[in-house]
Amino acid sequence: MKICYWVIGLLLVSMVTTKAQMPEDSLMIRRMYDAALTSGKSYENLWVLCKGVGHRLSGSENAKKAVEWAYATFQTMGLDRIEKQPCMVTHWERGRPERAWIKSRSGKRMVPVLALGSSPATPRGGITANVLEVFSIQEVQNLPEEKVKGKVIFYNRPMDPTFLNTFQAYGGCVDQRSVGALEAAKKGAVAVVVRSMTVNHDDWPHTGNMRTDDAVAMIPACAISTNGADLLHQLLSEEPSLEFHLEMDCRTFPDAPSHNVIGELKGTGRPEEIIVVGGHLDSWDVGEGAHDDGAGVVQAIEVLNIFKAVGYKPRHTIRAVAFMNEENGMKGALQYAAEALRKGEVHIAGLESDAGGFTPRGFNVDGSDECLHQLLSWENLLDDFLLRQLQKGYGGVDISPLKKQGAVLFGFAPDTQRYFDYHHTEADVFEAVNKRELELGAASMAALIYLIDKYDLPLNRQPNQDK
């Protein structure tokens, strides 16, 4: 019986301590928000990255400039360590602007297209062929080869506008872009046209990467704007024998040298344990990569700025990473994780921002039920700052390799409604980012990193790690 009273006593002390800590935590987080909103540097840094560097596809000259920008930015911050971590990255170039038109009885209609990343070029003079419209990968897989051979395959499944979370809608149709050309090539198609990934009806084609296979001779593939897709669909319904003409000049080169860029504050209590916060420095070669993922990079950097501004000295080492090559290879992330493993580094948690610089809604956690429980234990505190979406979900591409090493992964979750208005298009420019929303996102990320640093997280063990 004495033991029971002792246990109950400990629980009561713990509850009182937690309640006492919450006002202290709320005040600290409030200071972080104040710093971000009154003297933050995220918007200024984003302007320099977008306007001074511009779009920055891996392997390009602009990607090299972006590395130097990130390193120089870290140098101004009085950090404990800065590093340019070498990695080899995918090098693909778009070449001359693409040209495409629909040839029907009513004449020639130009349509906006962008080559998909990793696509080969068309032959000199382009490709002209009949069009076969399909709405799923399975449809192509089930068609006899003679129906597909020699055709331009037109994938026209739209994003489902009824999903409140547009990333869910994106996930429901992005396979057309990622593996559509691969499956069509197996059946003898000569090219692929993919409806752009957006719920909007506009004239912006949305690029993105596609998978390749050394065992399959790849065919040219492009994204067509949603208005262009609607036009092609309409004309096909009137004239199934119409033709599509496509000209592209893209090509793939050997992997190029590049870098992840790292800045860190050394922990005062457990410096050997690392909490990483990051975004990806590369972007597609259209627009300025403002939301994808300039916003994430400057927010990760801003976490360190905020900690220094409020005088918070973390227990663990806090490391901000600008990852290279997320868009078409993920080689920066893989190199970072490999180096961490080689050095015996211990990453207890990772937070990634790669969903745009929009109004913060909360965080996803990729971890055990105990990890979710820990996140939910901060629910009342985070609710004061309108961070109410706390749930299991994906952390992010660049931090994902760290999960095998035991890190608990978190994904920053801003509002999703406008993200696919800009994603992978010419419209993704600095002017599309709202200053206050960007700063609120940086403060939200700093708040979560602060809580992770202050309170221990459960181990995120994989099923085979205990064996």
Cis peptide before 293, with omega less than 30 degrees from 0? yes
- As a whole-number percent, the residues of the chain with pLDDT over 70 amount to 94
Segment 196-200 shows an average pLDDT of 97
Sheet arrangement for strand 127-134: 107-110, 99-104, 243-247, 127-134, 152-155, 191-195, 221-224, 113-115
- In 338-443, DSSP assigns E strands to 346-352, 360-366, 389-392, 408-414
- As a whole-number percent, the residues of the chain with pLDDT over 90 amount to 92
For residue 8, pLDDT beyond 70: no
Per-residue model confidence as pLDDT tens digits over 38-88: 999 999 999 999 999 999 999 999 999 999 999 999 999 999 999 999 999
In whole angstroms, how far apart are CA 367 and each of 38, 77, 128, 456?
A: 34, 32, 49, 14
Q: What is the pTM of this model?
A: 0.93
Q: Is 326 a catalytic residue?
A: yes
For residue 111, pLDDT beyond 60: yes
Segment 237-245 shows an average pLDDT of 97
415: Cβ contacts below 8 Å, ≥ 6 apart:
358, 359, 360, 361
Segment 111-126 shows an average pLDDT of 98
In the chain, list all ranges with CATH 3.40.630.10: 21-92+254-454
Per-residue model confidence as pLDDT tens digits over 334-344: 999 999 999 99
In whole angstroms, how far apart are CA 59 and each of 71, 91, 399?
A: 17, 5, 21
Segment 104-120 shows an average pLDDT of 97
> What is the distance of C-alpha 309 from the center of its chain?
28
Contact 87, 324 (CB under 8 A): yes
Distance CA 280, CA 358 (A): 17
Q: Rounded mean pLDDT of the chain?
A: 94
For residue 15, pLDDT beyond 70: no
In the chain, list all ranges with CATH 3.50.30.30: 95-249
Q: Which stretch of DSSP H or E encloses residue 243?
A: strand 243-247
Distance CA 129, CA 205 (A): 21
CATH class of 21-92+254-454: alpha beta
For residue 465, pLDDT beyond 50: no
Segment 124-138 shows an average pLDDT of 98
Q: What is the pLDDT of residue 22?
A: 77
| CATH code linked to domain 95-249 | 3.50.30.30
- In 367-407, DSSP assigns E strands to 389-392
Q: What is the pLDDT of residue 18?
A: 47
In whole angstroms, how far apart are CA 370 and each of 122, 255, 376?
A: 52, 41, 10
- pLDDT class for 459, splitting at 50, 70, 90? low
Q: Which of 7-11, 310-314, 325-329, 362-366 has the lowest mean pLDDT?
A: 7-11
For residue 381, pLDDT beyond 70: yes
For residue 190, pLDDT beyond 50: yes
Q: What is the pLDDT of residue 456?
A: 81
Q: Please name the residue ranges forming H helices in 215-319.
A: 226-238, 295-310
Q: Active-site residue among 326, 327, 345, 426? A: 326
